[in-house]
Amino acid sequence: MMTRLSEDLFSNPVWHALHGPHRHLALAQGAACRYRADVCPFAAIAAPADGAFDALRSLLAPAESVWIVDYGRSVAGLSVLDALDCVQMMLPAGVELPAPSAEVEPLGEAHAHEMVALTDVAFPGFFRPNTHRMGYYCGVRANGALIAMGGERLRLAGHPELSGICTHPAHRGQGLASAVIAHLVGRHRREGLRSWLHVGAPNARAIELYTSLGFERTRNLMLHRIARTG
């Protein structure tokens, strides 16, 4: 049976994060809101309406682009540049993960440049200098270098999103991503929180990993990258 996440919250998670636990990271105008550009490239509107898109445009610099859920139609002053089909997944309460198989250490502001460099190998542009302010981050090192990491991105009440999970290509196949996930989920369980995540639908390798750990699909969301054109 598929795990369910509230349709009200999780069909527009950026909006609810920025009007909830992440309101301190929000820039808002009317029916639109966004994260600061140095935090992450996500924005949201309350509903697809001309006024909301006008408000969103006012929050963007000329030629700046952001990702937004499911409202990717071109309107005056905005253009759709790209689309990404995402699978939303959640870890059921009864699923137990093994203990981390590698030493995982906390990461913070002092390590921001390392986190940006590592995530740029996997998904360039999504992790920014202040993305670490969205939640708790951690990683694995080898000979002093950060080789695997992950943390929390969108935050909804009682539901932190796992994100930024990646391993340097030279160190894949060692179970490091699983160790990072197990560490994060362990923290969530101790705090009474439910772990969830988004993964690109074409990323079969990542979906296979999350499924093997017990995560279940909830729904697909279409992300569109929208740019201000004037």
User: 4 falls in which pLDDT band (50, 70, 90)?
Assistant: low
Comparing CA positions, the residue from 88, 124, 111 lying closest to residue 13 is 88
Q: Do 80 and 113 lie in a common domain?
A: no
Q: Do 110 and 216 lie in a common domain?
A: yes
Task: Give the C-alpha separation, 86 to 99, whole Å.
Answer: 28
Task: Give the C-alpha separation, 201 to 178, whole Å.
Answer: 19
Mean pLDDT of 10-23: 96
Q: Say which CATH number the domain at 145 has.
A: 3.40.630.30
Q: Do 63 and 158 lie in a common domain?
A: no
Domain that includes residue 52, residue range: 7-84+223-228
Residue with more model confidence, 75 or 190: 190
How far from the centroid of its chain's Cα atoms is residue 217's Cα? 16
Residue 134 dihedral angles phi and psi, to the nearest 5°: -75, -20
Average pLDDT value over all residues in the chain: 93
For the beta carbon of residue 47, count every other beta carbon within 10 angstroms.
Answer: 10
Q: Do 124 and 165 lie in a common domain?
A: yes
In a domain, 65, yes or no: yes
In a domain, 141, yes or no: yes
Q: Do 173 and 214 lie in a common domain?
A: yes
Q: Flag the least confident range among 70-74, 80-84, 192-196.
A: 70-74
Amino acid 8: pLDDT: 78
pLDDT surpassing 90 at residue 195: yes
In a domain, 201, yes or no: yes
Task: Give the C-alpha separation, 47 to 213, whole Å.
Answer: 35
Which residues make beta-bridge pairs with 42?
67
Q: Do 93 and 197 lie in a common domain?
A: yes
Report CA torsion sign: 35, 55, 14, 168.
Answer: negative
* Amino acid type, 6: S
Mean pLDDT of 39-65: 94
Ramachandran region of residue 177, left (φ > 0), alpha (ψ -120 to 50) or beta? Answer: alpha
Share of the chain above pLDDT 70, in %: 96
Q: Do 104 and 209 lie in a common domain?
A: yes
In a domain, 112, yes or no: yes
Q: Do 153 and 196 lie in a common domain?
A: yes
> Is the CB of residue 217 less than 8 Å from the CB of residue 88?
yes
Q: Do 106 and 75 lie in a common domain?
A: no
Q: Do 143 and 48 lie in a common domain?
A: no
Q: Do 98 and 75 lie in a common domain?
A: no
Task: Give the C-alpha separation, 107 to 3, whole Å.
Answer: 30
Task: Give the C-alpha separation, 203 to 9, whole Å.
Answer: 24
Share of the chain above pLDDT 90, in %: 86
Q: Do 55 and 155 lie in a common domain?
A: no
User: What confidence tens digit (pLDDT) does each residue in 133-175 have?
Assistant: 999 999 999 999 999 999 999 999 999 999 999 999 999 999 9
User: How many Cα atoms sit within 13 Å of 170 on the Cβ side?
Assistant: 6
